[in-house]
Structure 1
């Protein structure tokens, strides 16, 4: 999900994971091949197979694979896209049956689930001393680690930020070069933009999309000092005054008419098109919207800032995207590691990621000649330094399920008059129960 709209995991998937884990208990999995010095070329000849989920940053992944294949014609990557809704189950089934690709592009949010079940190859010995990892996206590296063991590196990054329409700022008498730095300022600016009328609204909240909201409203809570998910059994979710403060902020924004009425039905399918309409003053969205907004509305002038919290100059971001990992049973672990080295290399970070105006996955590579031609990419790249990624094996059930407690809580806050303390307490109870079952 480029916008973290929907990540369904079926009960059958959980069963497959359990089955695969049970198989591993009957016969200990083979040790990873002896570590060797990683290069950006082949360790052995013959094609490598790779699976990647559909619905992600296909353009970026295709370019990365093409770059590897150009440099390594003796061991080209043969890439297969798997429907996003089928990916988790297919991986689990492949590990259980031994029919796996040599390497995987995996939605980073699900990595802890597979790491816990020992379905991925532990690459700690081969990766831990790489200097490139010191500046690799923190969100990616957090979920690539389980119990201090390392299982992968970033494939591509999506981050959330505050996009704002400079044309509407000017019309509303606001300084187009001074975006809001707190939620109080954001509310004031939104009121002025909505007052322009003509279908223009100051802000956008996706009312029926759990993933869109953790991507864009979750950071407002983090920036306000809150914790959202329960990482595991016994952990307390929805901790901190920022939870209630942000829920009150969003409730007030809806009540003031600053959010389009149609946003109530937004399930993620059209989320990425809202900002480019030119009718929304500000919204949380992702770096992918730079290109989309330009394509939709070439004449629109817009800027990008960090998503703010309650306190002035506080900020946070959701770091999403994919990891490169190696499934248990891969026969080309050393070559898969070499692909990872290739992806993190200075040359690829600059000449593939940056040249295509995609975020680099190393924070020390954002100051490059290509981003100078598109300052908005540099602006959104700042989110990498304040970003985080939820870390839990029950992310779908707690956060991303359309029927889960996260979206229920938000909808009650946005559209009903229920006491917010009760709304939070109900969601907290349900999230704790889900985490306890993990």
Structure 2
């Protein structure tokens, strides 16, 4: 079960680090290139401890459970897991590859995988894993970013999806049906107005004002559901297209002006994002599946439900599929063991008895129907987001979207907190994103 916030796509990367990353190594240095491919199992391929790096700020408890399960089954090749501060992860990987001191395998924020794949800093696993039947039902969002030029570089480690959490107690107090979450932006605004009218310290909605990753995770889907496209995939691609961009920016501006969000939301940088819904003071909030367990721990008496993040048209919805991949860095000497760990993660037993038992989403869609989820309706509800979810694919995600100084957050902050013309706000952000994509 999750007991801490996992900031989606928030590992800090710099252009300098990526340039350095791309510079080290060349095509003919791929480890394992002349070695025979061994059939994958869920056990040791060789003996001796395996080293694994994972970013902090991720789903630590889930990763700990997975590694513990592997170590219990495979005492002769136990994994020694090390957490690297998320702000240091990319630089540490680059330095490790340059010096030849890399872990045998590692967890990677999925959103950055294409950048590492293009830079040829991950081991190409295509011939080892493409024939696995489990790959066919592995999370499509994860597998999309695990693929570069039709080659495969990893499998899902864990999955996060965004959805609309709503406080049923506040719904009842506001005269709303606690079994019917909003299904459009207009309803979301209307419901928020009614909940805010309760008074006191209660607000109808939560809008993080200083967290780029939080907003792509929860506001990005509002745009997608409204027919918008956000990021530029590469040079020449047009970002911020579709009426949904302006519709959602206007929605956010109106929410702030109507007093439907707490004043303190403006300073939210992601550090306390995960704690907001469990306070019982927020009527509705875009957040992730991790908040099911956390909200219950914070506020055991609070009744809440989960719906999909809606768009402008009634019944439209979308979700951000985030999380981590497990990949093999260039220079690993234990590729076969790393691949066996991947096979282990995707096995039926681990999907049900580790992921599902801990009330975390399975990373295979055919494993969603299981005894643990059947006993937990909220997990079933949040799993519906997998059907409408997507994961952005771009080689410049950080610079366009996730940077605290980047065009995405600047655009949102101008929309939320100023009266600047929204067409100009969008045009400025579009120009900045295109510039970044062209440079990348």
Normalising by the smaller structure, the TM-score range is over 0.9
8 A contact 2:31–2:123 mirrored in 1: no
Q: Give the Cα separation in 2 of the matches to 1:332 and 1:5.
A: 27
Q: Distance in 2 between matches of 1:338 and 1:14?
A: 29
Q: Which residue of 1 aligns with 2:400?
A: 398
Instruction: Give the corresponding residue for 2:205.
Output: 203
Q: Does 1:29 align with 2:30?
A: yes
Q: CA RMSD in A?
A: 1.2
- Aligned residue number for residue 183 of structure 1: 185
Say which of 376, 379, 383 aligns to 2:378. Answer: 376
Match of 2:45 among 43, 46, 61: 43
Q: How does 1:110-189 map to 2 (within 5 A)?
A: 110-189=112-191
Distance 1:104 1:16 in 2: 19
Shift of 1:8: 1.9
Q: Which residue of 2 aligns with 1:360?
A: 362
**Structure 1, residues 146-196: CA drift from partner, whole Å, max 9, x if none?**
011100000001111000000000011110000011111111111111111
Q: Is the 8 A contact 2:158 2:363 kept in 1?
A: yes
Check whether the contact 1:6–1:209 (CA below 8 A) recurs between aligned residues.
no
1:311 is matched with 313
Counterpart in the other structure of 1:385: 387
Quote the offset at 1:18 in angstroms: 3.1
Q: Which residue of 1 aligns with 2:7?
A: 3
TM-score, normalised by the number of residues in structure 1: 0.97
> 100, 103, 112: which is aligned to 2:102?
100
Contact 2:278/2:294 (8 A) holds in 1: yes
Count residues with an aligned counterpart.
435
Alignment partners' CA distance in 2, 1:47 and 1:9:
29
1:263-342 pair list within 5 angstroms: 263-342=265-344
Seen in structure 2, the aligned counterparts of structure 1 residues 191 and 5 have a Cα distance that, compared at 3 Å, is farther
2:22 paired with 1:18: yes
Is residue 3–residue 286 contact of structure 1 (8 Å, CA) maintained in 2? Answer: no
The Cα of 1:11 is off from its aligned counterpart by: 4.3
Aligned counterparts of 1:99 and 1:8: Cα–Cα separation in 2: 21
Q: Give, in whole Å, the separation in 2 of the partners of 1:182 and 1:260.
A: 22
SS in 2 for 1:157: strand
Give the distance between the partners of 2:271 and 2:147, measured in 1 at CA.
31
CA distance in 2, matches of 1:395, 1:124: 24
**Aligned partner of residue 81 in structure 2, secondary structure:** strand
Partner of 2:76: 74
Q: Tell me whether 1:252 sits opposite 2:241 in the alignment.
A: no
1:231 to 221, 230, 233: 233
Q: What secondary structure sits across from 2:88 in the alignment? A: helix
Contact 1:40 1:338 in 2 (8 A): yes
Do 2:9 and 2:109's aligned partners in 1 also have CA atoms closer than 8 Å? Answer: no
Q: CA deviation at 1:31?
A: 4.3
In structure 1, list runs of 5 or more residues that go unmatched: none
Deviation at 1:5, TM superposition (A): 7.3
Deviation of the 1:127 alpha carbon:
1.0
Q: Where do 5+ consecutive residues of structure 2 fail to align? A: none
- Following superposition, the deviation at residue 254 of structure 1 comes to 1.0
Q: Tell me the alpha carbon deviations over residues 210-264 of structure 1, each in whole angstroms, 9 at most, x when there is no partner.
A: 1110010000001111110001111100011110111111111111111111111
Partner SS for 1:211: helix
Q: Report the Cα distance in structure 2 between the residues aligned to 1:267 and 1:400, rounded to whole angstroms.
A: 12
> What SS does the aligned partner of 1:18 have?
helix
Q: What's the TM-score once normalised by structure 2's chain length?
A: 0.97
Q: Secondary structure at the match of 1:269?
A: coil
Matching residue within 422, 434, 437 for 2:436: 434
Query: What per-residue deviation string (whole Å, max 9, x for no partner) do you get for residues 45-96 of structure 1?
Result: 1111111111111111111011111111111111111111111111111112
CA contact (8 A) 1:3 1:285 kept: no
What is the CA-CA distance between 1:335 and the residue it aligns to?
Answer: 1.2
